[in-house]
Structure 1
């Protein structure tokens, strides 16, 4: 590996493009700058860039019609700020299907494969693909790496991967893929030698899932074929009785587009509360708003139920980890999730939990409970540097 390389990590979503710039040397990474281009495809687009200390380097209003425009705007700001020239770019790609089980150098063949996966994640894949193409258009000789959010789970037992559907649908790729794999992978790296045999990681954000990790490998997870499955989230319902979908199609005149909007944009915390998908907003409102209170109660109940189910899959539990924006910052949610899990040996220290300490379980808790901030960008940078420079 050369003395020092500059790696850009890009995460293009349906309405935002988040990015981070790292200096990589000798296997160690240091953040140079990070930021986001927000409100892609709508009015009021904005791009912000901070340095490693949080100091604002750039903030400007832009018309960001599509992800390619957002990527170009990001590069324009990099050049204006005279940030280091890039040596490689890594992308978080939500879906890798059943065949892409590790980070890969982007090639024309891989890009063609990813386009075939768009129906598996129609809200996420087009933006990720357009991000790759935008970088190639701007810097055609720059090596790019795709890091798949599904790859972490590809070693799950078949009994966990399969849905109880006819064999031909399994053969067609309809199975439990699981997501947030890059986040889970980062948590395992952060634990190092402290990875216990039976581990549950709860990645709680606007999109949320939980993974059961047995001896360092994914054993089961809550999200399924798409990121809409599992337990309720900000705007997604999680698992539903399939008969509900049939009823909506037959009796309520929903079509495929209407169902997609329902399960991706109008359900979950937002749907139940009728107020917001934001947990902090709902926590602040629940004392006076019964719908907000019910949304939080359901959210915590479903997480708690999922922890219990995955602990059963593991045959017990040695450690529970909270991560993601909600998992890292919402002490009230962590407390409510853990209330009632004493049968798993979980006991929370309220003072530690309110302070979001690394370990929030009490001294006599048989199961250790921790709060570990995730860093998907750093994981993407590591994979990219490992593939391109080593």
Structure 2
């Protein structure tokens, strides 16, 4: 069996897959470091989890208690947010890979450290298990330099300030699901609380709406999306760096426009702020889609994934209405399955 671990800044998700990639268990420890809760296969209970290492140990024990024998796990696969310029594909964990993930901490200070905790905790408790890593950024390593370079001096570029792109496992999963039927020029939109789009040409990413961080690009649940750098400087001058970060990442987007980051709730509301927030989300998704279509040199199909992309037909329709100027193209809805893609990556690296 393959155990997939997705460590967030205050959470730890796990999924357990059989060798044929059938998922047989999923769980999460949320609110790590506070009033943590462990939920496994729909059953939730309080748990003492002051840190991610403890949370992982509690989850492994819970898997055993639920009949999912951890002794049957043959590999562990981790989602790692940032691979920088080091990784263009998934990798087996080695000391060199761990060093490279650590070197990327300045690029993802909230996520790469906890991703490493999961890797190192299991290396200590289960040293016999091979471990693998899939990177949110790796799928976009195929972007040409002209798409990833900001027009800034070499010193800042050399320090790692460039466009990277994220949601890579979601887009890789989408490409796999299309198989031989993959359109040559596919506009892919991953729409959820975090939202991005990707120009996929010939099965490879050639442009992404997200850039140096997941904050840029589309309007999201609590992230502002694209914003002028001078506006960021003004906000930071008033609120400080930490205050600006909190405002732009946690208090903006749909929440900033209408006081709520739940798209379903906003679509059900009958007020001007909610309607404007929904329209704003769709307008900017379509406007940035035009940029992606230019990067591909045209458009053959559009595909939606993610919680909003899969479940909110009115949002898909609003976005597509903005894109009618590009002609009629097929529209697909693809179920997001990032955990399965991460397990698939590990299985391929194992040679299965």
TM-score (norm 1): 0.86
Q: Are 1:115 and 2:102 counterparts?
A: yes
Tell which deviates more after alignment, 75-84 or 62-71. Answer: 62-71
Give 1:135's aligned residue: 122
> Which of 316, 323, 326 does residue 298 from structure 2 map onto?
316
Matches within 5 A, 1:278-293: 278-285=262-269, 287=270, 289-293=271-275
Q: Are 1:269 and 2:260 counterparts?
A: no
SS at 1:228 equivalent: coil
Matches within 5 A, 1:43-122: 43=35, 45-50=36-41, 56=42, 58-84=43-69, 85-122=72-109
SS at 1:255 equivalent: helix
TM-score (norm 2): 0.95
CA displacement at 1:249 relative to structure 2? 3.2
Q: Are 1:294 and 2:276 counterparts?
A: yes
CA displacement at 1:142 relative to structure 2? 1.4
Q: In 1, Cα distance between the equivalents of 2:206 and 2:40? A: 38
CA displacement at 1:60 relative to structure 2? 1.7
Query: C-alpha offsets along residues 228-286 of structure 1, whole Å, 9 cap, x if unaligned?
Result: 11111111111210001221233x1x222112212221111111112x2111111122x
CA displacement at 1:389 relative to structure 2? 4.7
Give 1:15's aligned residue: 10
Contact kept, 8 Å, 2:78 with 2:342, in 1: the verdict is yes
Q: Are 1:42 and 2:27 counterparts?
A: no
CA displacement at 1:318 relative to structure 2? 0.6
Give 2:334's aligned residue: 372
Q: In 1, Cα distance between the equivalents of 2:53 and 2:263? A: 31
Q: Any gaps of 5 or more consecutive residues in structure 2?
A: none
Q: In 2, Cα distance between the equivalents of 1:98 and 1:30? A: 32
Contact kept, 8 Å, 2:283 with 2:322, in 1: the verdict is no
Q: Any gaps of 5 or more consecutive residues in structure 1?
A: 1-5, 51-55, 346-365
Q: In 1, Cα distance between the equivalents of 2:329 and 2:158? A: 39
Give 1:145's aligned residue: 132
SS at 1:29 equivalent: coil
**CA distance 1:86–1:389, change in 2 (3 Å):** farther
Q: In 2, Cα distance between the equivalents of 1:19 and 1:284? A: 32
Contact kept, 8 Å, 2:236 with 2:243, in 1: the verdict is no
Q: In 2, Cα distance between the equivalents of 1:382 and 1:106? A: 16
Q: Are 1:192 and 2:179 counterparts?
A: yes
